[in-house]
Amino acid sequence: MHLVTLAAAAEPTSGIAGWAAHLVDVLGGPGAGLAIALENLFPPLPSEVILPLTGFAAGQGVISLASALFWTTLGSVVGAAALYGIGRLIGRERMYAVWARIPLVKISDLERTEAWFQRHGTKAVLLGRMVPIFRSLISIPAGVERVRLPVFLALTAVGSLIWNSVLVLAGYWLGDQWDLVETYVGVVSKVVLGAAAVAVVAYLVVRLRGRGRHRESRPREKQSR
């Protein structure tokens, strides 16, 4: 029996859900892996749709649960490795050159970030794989900082297996209500995105105020002379 038929009562076969269902229907486990690899490369593709739908497929016997977990984790590692490679190609020098051209930022900020990543890079890669939005992006700085490839792949595999297992098993247990996962994970994603936006705004406000104070101090220095 095809997943498209099984999913019809729970989710329309159009859009991302329909696309993912078609991949699993045609390719089985490797189709789910391909979908997740592409999700890593293009974060707008939501894992909170693809993974629970894969779990639903496993619950309906379209693929096995072991196959669902194996292929989605492999897809996560492949996608993350591609982003890691992009980070290595960008390299430290290019990253500093681009950073120097961005308004309202300082090289010292990048240096502090780099120092932090060198101290906590392994934790960042492992935990970052379980944080919505940042789970894909964390691979790029890991490549720029040239985290040892075997270590990067191992940490990515472990973090991805944990994240994938939670969402795949949720879809497996929820059955035709698998789409509830998207709702709850979507809330978490919005919270993470909101926190990141607040952090960026706060950073810009501090930078703008710092520039204003610097400009005010310069005339005073001239008058004192």
Q: How far apart are CA 189 and CA 17, in angstroms?
A: 18
More confident residue, 216 or 51: 51
Q: Would the pLDDT of 224 be above 60?
A: no
Does this model's pTM top 0.85? My answer is no
**pLDDT tens figures, 156-202:** 999 999 999 988 998 888 877 666 666 655 555 455 455 545 544 55
| Segment 119-148 mean pLDDT | 82
Q: How far apart are CA 89 and CA 123, in angstroms?
A: 23
> Is residue 188 a contact partner of residue 135, using CB atoms and an 8 Å limit?
no
Q: Name the most confidently modeled range: 59-63, 77-81, 211-215.
A: 77-81
Helix (H, G, I), strand (E, B) or coil at 10: coil
DSSP letter at 13 equals: S
| Segment 84-107 mean pLDDT | 76
Tokens of 118: 């060198």
> Cα separations (Å) of 86 from 79, 112, 126, 141, 210?
11, 22, 19, 9, 34
Residue 34 has a CB neighbour count (10 Å cut-off) of 20
Calculate the average pLDDT of the chain: 75
Q: How far apart are CA 80 and CA 127, in angstroms?
A: 14
